[in-house]
Copies of this chain bind each other. A is one copy, B any other.
């Protein structure tokens, strides 16, 4: 009678009475048998009525669902997983929960998962391939699949794991594994064009970690674009992808006589901004800075950061939907070759803010 959870936000107390009974209740857990007894059918019929409503007589189906509701029945996901082998949970591995970049990814995965009624297991691998492997192992029975947002494993390792575990990777491209790519190389090119249009002829790439696939990709894109546009490009680094690394990066950039930098990510770029101010190097008058990702903070730092805006949240969503499609397809058959090893590339665009400006009239390189 009373819905398990009301949609009316105000009268919660009323509703709650029913809901409470079911909330992680240790006592008085209602099982499928109780519902069966109350309805006068077999437990298996209840199971069916709840999981595969089509395979049950319309009338009894409704009777059962009603009874389940009234009794405050909550399916036991453990038991369900044990028999079906499916947990309806997916693991999302990030390399550093602290990095704002992942906030958006996580938000995306969370949304998509929640929308589908799935659970998200969030794991912070803390930049360690080891921890990543360990997590993947422990997660074996806990999740039906995983999204690797910043794997520190080799392509071969990933591909190997993917053979037995539904996987989707973000910003990696191991063969045969579905992946979501954010087109930052395209963004790098736009960034360079932007700098060229401001009169820059020399650009410094502030490199991220060597272990980062994206970093290599961005650098390569920059080299290519530089050749095409007749711009000299150089690099400094590697720097760890933290705000704190920005100080060293800034010093290196100043030392190199750079007048324009494209950074591996916003974190480093923002760190540079701070350090440059300390050193009285004006941005953008003396040096232009371009970041990457457009994370939280890129728009209110000082000066606001010109950066490549990535559809990060969408990347998370797409990754999950690819995974779910695969997971849903597995039990039956259908799409096995084509759809499973697809790659989605999400576009990036340059957002110009205050940190880039005309090249200084005089500069040393």
Q: Which residues of A contact B (CB under 8 A)?
A: 4-7, 9, 12-13, 16, 19-20, 22-27, 74-79, 81-82, 85, 87, 97-98, 100, 103-104, 106-107, 110-111, 114, 119-124, 128-130, 133-134, 136-143, 145-146, 153-154, 156-157, 160-161, 164-165, 243, 270, 273-274, 296-297, 300-303
Complex contact A124–B114 (CB within 8 A) = yes
Complex contact A27–B79 (CB within 8 A) = no
Contacts of A81 in B (CB 8 A): 78
Contacts of A16 in B (CB 8 A): 133, 157, 160
- Which residue of B is nearest A246, CB measured? B300
Complex contact B7–A130 (CB within 8 A) = yes
Q: Taking A129-B9, A161-B20, A296-B297 as contacts, is the C-beta distance between A103 and B98 under 8 angstroms?
A: yes
Contacts of A301 in B (CB 8 A): 297, 300-302
Contacts of A107 in B (CB 8 A): 97-98, 124
Complex contact B74–A138 (CB within 8 A) = yes
Q: Taking A82-B78, A82-B82 as contacts, is the C-beta distance between A140 and B300 under 8 angstroms?
A: no
Contacts of A154 in B (CB 8 A): 12-13
Contacts of A75 in B (CB 8 A): 141
Q: Taking A77-B142, A106-B97 as contacts, is the C-beta distance between A20 and B129 under 8 angstroms?
A: no
| Extra 6 A-B pairs, beta carbons < 8 Å, given A78-B142, A97-B107, A274-B300 | A5-B134, A13-B156, A26-B85, A106-B122, A107-B124, A300-B301
Complex contact B82–A136 (CB within 8 A) = no
Q: Which of B120, B124, B134 contacts A110 (CB 8 A)?
A: B124
- How many angstroms from the CA of A106 to the CA of B297 in the assembled complex? 19
- How many angstroms from the CA of A252 to the CA of B78 in the assembled complex? 52
Q: Taking A137-B22, A140-B25 as contacts, is the C-beta distance between A157 and B124 under 8 angstroms?
A: no
Contacts of A141 in B (CB 8 A): 24, 74-79
Contacts of A23 in B (CB 8 A): 133, 136-137, 140, 161, 164-165
Contacts of A129 in B (CB 8 A): 9, 12
